[in-house]
Every structure is written in structure tokens, then in C-alpha cells.
Structure 1
């Protein structure tokens, strides 16, 4: 029996997520356009900048980003690899605490300010409640990350149309889960006068029935649940101990395993 752990929710094999930093005023337009096209992502915010010229206000966080994800970008946006380890802790925990007070949910992810980090920073993150951290190192691929604490995106949004075409229409030799991850800063659209590429991107990739549109943390949570599946020696019995449904492929057919379910694949 051929079993593959290569399906997203609903049995889909493709996912798209976006990621934007700094919490600038242009997030207001960006979120509106993303919502129009059914796109989802994470907005990595510096709580220490709220209310400063060019930045959003703390009071609008819960409503502006409703349906999207609020994530950490540290309180004051330092180079984490250049500050004392105790300041790394303070920067992340103060930011998490401030953002959680505004959103009402645990903040479990972040992006690295200036895209800079080192092994010491990465090793500290699990103890600070961080489950994923996005870099600025584009892979130009759609592969799932091997380490969510060093999560490299597919591309910057300047290349979103080029890679959007590849994501939709290039057929890989061996199909597997594919994730298209775009990152950037909302102010860049205004600075470069190219909001049109976001609209074209939305028209191209938005609202496809075979694509999972997810926030960064939703992807991490789903993959964690998928990896927790318990398999019998025979390979025919699977137990899902998590609190969410997961999907797998059995003989090229998508199979759902519900929360807490023990499924005998011979009976499917």
C-alpha cells in the first residue's frame, strides 16, 4: 500500500502564503487587496513603532489584520545577531506580549529584522515560544522548509508574477506538496508605484479551488499535526493524536484522518 504524507487540508497539494514586515501604514491597502483575492499571510510587527509617523496605530491592529496573522518582528527592530543574548529575549518577549494583548491570541512566529540571525538566536527561539521565523533568503523554489525556524521564502514580491506562473503551470516530474511563499514590505508597493503587480498576482493565483490559502502559523500548525501521525508496523493503521484533521495520500487518493481518529486504511 502506497502511503504519502503530502496533502494539505482538503487533500490539496498546493499552498500559498504571504509575509510582510514592519507594520507600515501601507498595510491598510495591502490587507484590503489581499482580502479581495482571498490571499492570506502574516504581518510581522514592531510594537515599539506603533503610532510613529508612517506606522499603524496599536488601536487598529485587531481590526486591520482580522482574518490574517499578526506575528512578531521584535519590539525595536535590532540586528538580533549583534545584540546581547538577554536583549534578544527582551526584544521578542516584549513584542509578543504587546501583540498578544492587542490580538487576543498567542503570537508564535516572527521574521528576522534585517534578515539577520545566527545559530545562537535560532537556538533560543523555542524557549521564547517561537515556532517559525522567516528569513529574507529567497529559494526560488516551492519546497517545504526543512526547518521552520529558518524558513526561507520563495521570492520577494517583485518576482511574484514570474513565480506565480511557474507555481500554477509548471508540472514537476514527481508531484509533492508545494508551497509558494512571498515576502516584502507594503511600503515598497507605494514607493515603487507598482500596486498593479499585487492586483495581477491576485487575479492570477487567487481563489483557486485546488490551492490552500493559509497564514504562516496555520501552515506550521498543520505540518506539526501531520508529522505527529502514528503508524502501525504494518503501515495500514494510522492514529491522529492531534486536535485537527490531516490528509494523506493512499494509492493516489486523498484520505482525511480526523482529530483523535484511528483509521484502518484497509477499510478505506
Structure 2
């Protein structure tokens, strides 16, 4: 298994190096429009300049804080709402069409409403992020709750188990893998929500840098900001994977 992991990692790194090398060559030989697509060495110089003048780190910190808050709140609220829908089947049937409609609505269209309601700033961006993460989390986890083996539930009921015991001892443990998978999905969704929110209202953050780069036709700044987003999002995803491994070891007693 270790050899397989090393092989996978090696191929991943090789593909990344080949992509960067091809991109750099295409830019220097004018195979692509450098104004639009830039190339890696120019991106590195742009990032290094913004790091030295101290303007990049605050933007990363602001966007990361917004993403973490939206990610955590979205997961907690979505899981709690899924639990409520399972606990009250009548409420679930009533809310089902509304959840589907809310999930299908374009979140960019909701952004201006959040700005008016909460003001331009951190709260409006987090609200935009929650509009992306909460409904998906609710639908995914609630669907898993409903798919738990009905035979197990009947056995607990035959032995006098309460609805609370069914939920805590059957439903939640059996849905553990789905909840963890939802955490991974929410990493990407939280970043989408935050960047959309920053596009609409922010005067700081990585989303703001992208918008500013487009306004001044500095596409190297735009692409370098996207690279930073990819790096920070990857770090956040790896932290969620580490949490999954730790929780899995805890459940298996290893």
C-alpha cells in the first residue's frame, strides 16, 4: 500500500511539473496570449512582490477566516437540520419541495439580498457561503439517514428502544461516512460561496484581488490569486482528510 501511495504521489507530481513546464514554455515562446494567460514565472514574481510588500497575507487571512466560519457553520446547521427532518417526518414532507427549490436557486442572485440585510462585509459573505453549504449538507445527510437499514431500527424498537436511542445508536453511527464525505464537499462549496460573496461586496480578500485584477487588466494578479486559492483550499482539504483518519481510528479503536 505504501508503494502504491508513493507511485500515485509521484505521478501526481510529474503531471504537475509537466503542466507547469508546458505552460512556461508556451508563454515564453508566445504560443499563448501572455496578457490573458501569463505564465508560471510571472505568477511567482507577482506573488513574491505582494508578499514582500505585505499586501497578500492579510487578504489570505480574511478569505480563510470567512471560509472556515462558513464551512463550520454550514456543516453544523446542515447536520442539525437533517436531524430535525428525520426526527419529524411530517416537517420533512412539508419542507421537501422548498429545500429543492432553494437548492436550485442561483446563489449569486441571493447575494444582493444578504448585502441589504446584513450590510456589506463579513456577515453578508458568510451568509452567502451558508446559502451554498447548508442545503447541500442537509439533503445529503438526510438522504443517508433515510437509507439506514430498516431492519436495525425494527430490532431496536422490539427491544424497547426510544426514538432518541435509535438516532444516537443506529442512525448517526451508520451515517458517519456520509457526514465525513460531506465535510470534504463543503470545503469546496465554502470556497465557492466566499469568493462569490467577495465578488459582490468585499474590499479585501482573494476574491477582491481577482475583481481588482480584472478592473486594471492585470490578469497575472488574477491567476496568481487563483493559485493561492488552490493552495489554501488544498491545505484545508488535507486537514479534513486528517480529521477523517483520526475519527476513523477512534471509532475502530486503533
Structure with larger Rg: 2
Q: TM-score, normalised by structure 2?
A: 0.25
Q: Which has the higher strand share?
A: 1
TM-score by length of 1: 0.24
Task: Judging by fraction of residues, say which structure has more helix.
Answer: 2
